[in-house]
Amino acid sequence: MEIRKGIAVSPGVSIARALVIDSREQRIPRRSILPSQRANEVGRVSEAFLGAIQELTTLQSGTNIDQDNIRDIFAVHLRFLQDASFRRRITDFIEKELTTAEYAVSTILREIASHFAGIDDPYISERAADIFDIEKRLLQKLVGKARDMMDPLGEEVIVIANDLTPTQTAGFSKTQVRGFATEKGGRTSHTAIIARTLGIPAVVALGDITGSVSADSRIIIDGNRGVIVIDPSEDTIQEYREYAQNLRRLGLKLDSLRDKPAATRDGVAVTLLGNVEFPDEAKMVKEKGGQGIGLYRTEFLYLYSGTEPTEEDHYQAYAETVRSFEGKPVVIRTMDLGADKVPHGHKLHEANPVLGLRSIRYCLQNLPLFKTQLRGLLRASVLGDIRIMFPLIGNLQELRQAKMILRDVMEDLDEYAIPYNPLVPVGIMIETPSAALTASMLAGDCDFFSIGTNDLIQYTLAVDRANEHVSTMFTAADPAVLGLIRSVIHDAHKAKIGLSVCGEVASEPEFIMLLLGMGVRTLSLAPPMIPEVKQIIRSVTIEECNFLARKVGAMDSQRQIKNYIRDAAMKIMPEAF
């Protein structure tokens, strides 16, 4: 028996025989063409795009795919294939390099995928799998090689692979594929989203797993804890069968909470919002009982295309989301570019990019990009409750500069009689110690704070969470971090402005009681975690949370705090741990 730990991306427990499939990359050799063959190769590219678009359109409307989330993911692929600038990059490559269509497609898409994969933000880096999926689809049209789709199976299996594309995952039969485990992947990839939509347990980022599993292996996949067990003992199988029964009961209980209020036992209401990256993901927030969008990341508009997004691109993306929420809040964060998120055509070479030209600093030094986004945002503000949020504000001067540019854009719209909401709420993310320590001053110039715990922890503790050597030191359960959060909450309440927590801490069940006890009443979290967090909120009283927060305030070590808040959460909802 061997136990392997990865990242849990889709909940559930299954036991079945392993099916190891070859999902490795298709290599395309470079072949040169004569100048007279350019037009023919460009024509082949056009035919391949047309065929891929028709295929995706059929998949979208197919009776075998009836989940909106999956249709939406294929819509993202379609938008990419319909982007004229993307196709032009491929044809320009053929014209200049004199290569075959298939080599140009493979080279350009792998260049884009590599750009995404190298970005530290998991929400963006995990989109590389979508680019590989599109590459496979185009290459199949060009070279006629069959895609890696499985033949009908005669038994239940757990798929083991290096990686899986969204299309492969959407093609799985839930009655036959009882789960999957991959060597690569992450929580927010479209493959993971499809797995959750289909209800297929999944664990990813397991490292070299395909070489450890044989065709005769029996597998337990635990999509809640991020564990797979290879060739388990009978006692282990029985334990997991009982555990799976308990999880099914919990799932039914959480599903029943969708339309119930997120309020404590003593009647204190808590607002639960969702964090999203794409307009298509907003539907999941509603399905899980979310009350709006607390963090709408907008970087995808810059990183998914070879050209800069136009004002209309911004407007359409925001309009689609705000219309779907019918008057509920949609907090849109202006572009958080720089560091490792640099649009095509913009080159930054910095020794320490995380401390360099990023987020609001990048915006203030790239005013045409910033103003284009603000125009699209303001135009969409008349459609619903849109709120604008500036990221990584470090001091009052930066906030006032950003607001001055916003007013300039408003004046431009006035000049052309373009409607917008002149009272659109403007807030900031508290992500730096300097912002946290001067929150009382910043509060006078904005309508709300949103505490971004991911960067606040990183900058406060001087810990790079992506660095495996120090990542264990990255935690919100540090007295320094909690002291800053407590101070920001106090200053926001004193100034009578809105306050939310939108970092990953808001999605972690063990921190919910602590945040409530510290005075937080709005949480913005990963959509799949909304029901679980709601259950915790509905199971406690504010007095219990206040008591826990006072006890934590007297503690002086990370370990002591983590153990205490985890034990408290386990007593309330043991099934979640």
DSSP for 311-342 reads HHHHHHHHHHHHHHTTTS-EEEEPP--BTTB-
CATH class of 2-19+154-235: alpha beta
Q: If you average pLDDT over residues 307-320, what whole number do you get? A: 89
Least-confidence region, from 52-56, 192-196, 228-232: 192-196
CA–CA dist 298, 372 (Å, integer): 13
Better-predicted residue by pLDDT, 152 or 498: 498
In 227-337, which ranges are continuous DSSP H helix?
Answer: 234-255, 282-287, 300-303, 311-324
3-state secondary structure of 152: coil
Task: Indicate which residues carry an active-site annotation.
Answer: 190, 502
| pLDDT tier for residue 69 given thresholds of 50, 70 and 90 | low
* Burial class of residue 152 in the structure, from the number of CB atoms within 10 Å of its CB (0-12 exposed, 13-18 middle, 19+ buried): exposed
Q: Inform me whether the pLDDT recorded for 66 exceeds 50.
A: no
**365: number of Cβ within 10 Å:** 11
Answer whether residue 30 shows pLDDT above 50.
yes
User: 387-415: per-residue pLDDT in tens?
Assistant: 999 999 999 999 999 999 999 999 999 99
Decide: 9 and 186 in contact? Cβ < 8 Å.
yes
Average pLDDT over residues 48-54: 91
Q: Tell which CATH classification among 1.10.3720.10, 1.10.10.10, 3.30.70.920, 1.10.274.10 matches the domain 35-143.
A: 1.10.274.10
- Give pTM, 2 decimals: 0.70
Q: How far is Cα 215 from Cα 544, in angstroms, rounded to an integer?
A: 52
**pLDDT of res. 121:** 67
The closest alpha carbon to 6, from 258, 305, 226, 153, belongs to: 226
**How far apart (Å, rounded) are the C-alpha atoms in residues 323 and 292?**
11
Other beta carbons less than 10 A from residue 151's beta carbon: 5
Most confident segment among 147-161, 340-354, 398-412:
398-412
Evaluate whether 577 touches 549 at the Cβ level (below 8 Å).
no
Q: Considering only 45-59, 342-356, 443-457, 539-553, which range has the smallest mean pLDDT?
A: 342-356
* Residue linked to tokens 């294929």: 74
- The residue assigned the tokens 């999957």 is 180
Tokens of 404: 């001055």
Question: Is the per-residue pLDDT at 188 higher than 70?
Answer: no
User: Comparing 6-20, 168-182, 313-327, 437-451, which segment has the lowest mean pLDDT?
Assistant: 168-182
Q: What is the mean pLDDT of the segment spanning 310-323?
A: 92
Check the CA dihedral 292-73-197-60 and report its sign.
positive
pLDDT at 178 exceeding the cut of 70 = yes
| Domain coordinates in residue numbering, the chain | 2-19+154-235, 35-143
The CB-side HSE value for 519 (13 A sphere, CA atoms) comes to: 15
Render pLDDT for 473-505 as a digit per residue (tens, 0 to 9). 889 999 999 999 999 999 999 999 999 999 889
Quote the Cα angle for 440-503-293, to 5°: 95
Confidence band of 197 (pLDDT split at 50, 70, 90): low
Roughly how many angstroms between the first and final C-alpha of the chain, as a whole number? 23
